[in-house]
Structure 1
Amino acid sequence: MRYFEIIESAEQSAAQRAQQKQRNARDRIAHAHEKRSAAATRYQDQLKACDDAIKQAQASLREASVRSYALRDRKGQLLGWIEPQGRLIQGKDRAGTVVGWYDARQNVTRDRHGVLFGTGDLLSALIVCKR
């Protein structure tokens, strides 16, 4: 009889070990799902933050961008116009020839020959002087 009890005890302990392994495996799977879910949430949060930053940068760029505009005298006659050209802003006379440009990075205005005209945006002065 003792022999059957030993065999039965061994089978029970083997079954208990198998159940414990299954529980451990389920716990590891649940933990991996939690980690994956947390990582996905962090990733989504980072994507949203990047999207918000892009939208904010685009909005500030639209606000700060210089659009073309005409310069006119008191009578309304066209003197010239100022328009963005890449990173430079060009000043043109009424005939459409370039009279100079303003470089915002260097904060200088140059005439059509590239000679320094002054510091700051002096394109309107260049256009008026050209007249």
Structure 2
Amino acid sequence: MNIEPRKLAYLAFGVLLLAVAGCTDKSSPDMVDKRSVERWNYLIAHEAEKAYDYFTPGYRATQSREKYAAAMNNRPIQWTAASFKDKTCDGDRCIVGVNVLYTIAAPGMGGRKAENESVQSETWIRVDGQWYFLPN
């Protein structure tokens, strides 16, 4: 089979793009940035049952998905946005800062909600090549 050099170059480039797209290393500290915000996005969407999967296996062994989801999905605070701020990693442990925007019903404001933001400091650990949230 004889392929034109230009077509061969396009083919090689396509194979390279596919290879790079498939190389998501779940153990990379860069995954902590993504996973920390994904977890918060589930909490924002009132899908705490999905955020539960981001906890360490040890935590999940002590707390049921249903109990956690019921407690988190019914909080008076409403989280509205989350973004990665920073992290400090040391081997299999990262301390991650996540900027979280939220609203809460403010006493004495006639039912209006006060908006605020805070930086949440979270501990994430790598277990069997995957990053998990370790609550305090």
Question: Does TM-score exceed 0.5, indicating one fold?
Answer: no
Comparing both structures, which one devotes a greater share of its residues to helix? Answer: 1
TM-score by length of 2: 0.34
| Greater Rg by CA | 1
Structure 1 length normalisation: TM-score? Answer: 0.35
Judging by fraction of residues, say which structure has more strand.
2
